[in-house]
Amino acid sequence: MIKQRTCVACRTKNTKDNLLRIVADENGNAVLDETQKMNTRAIYICNNKNCINRLLKAKDITKCVKIKVKQGSIQELLRNLGE
Ligand SMILES: [Zn+2]
């Protein structure tokens, strides 16, 4: 069975290849884990602008993003991805 992950924005389950994996780097900045292999807590989001913007606009973004990242760094990453 293929492992499925839940998008933090729309709560839809999807396979990893259709999702972006976001982790916190050693400095506490939110980064895109392009290899999908970094051995750390991660969140997943659909690879589309709808979900990226949806999460960006969420008031409770810190509740959705259950990884330890610096204030603002997740928004910065999402803004870059949404462009
Ligand atoms: Zn989604």
Which pTM was predicted? 0.89
In the structure, ligand 1 is a single-atom ion and the residues with CB under 5 Å from it are 7, 9-10, 46, 51
Q: Which pLDDT band, with edges at 50, 70 and 90, does 36 fall under?
A: confident
Measured CA to CA, the distance from residue 55 to residue 22 in angstroms comes to 13
Instruction: Please give the full DSSP string across the chain, using - where no structure is assigned.
Output: ---EEEBTTT--EEEGGGEEEEEE-TTS-EEE-TTS--SS-EEEEESSHHHHHHHHH-TTHHHH--S---TTHHHHHHHHHH-
* Between 65 and 20, residue with greater pLDDT: 20
The domains located in the chain, with CATH, are 4-82 (3.30.1230.10)
Query: What is the Å distance from ligand 1's center to 37 Cα?
Result: 20
Residues of the chain above pLDDT 90, percent: 66
Residue 66 has a pLDDT of 80
Please give the angle made by the CA atoms of 46, 40 and 76, to the nearest 5 degrees. Answer: 50
* Interval 43-51 mean pLDDT: 95
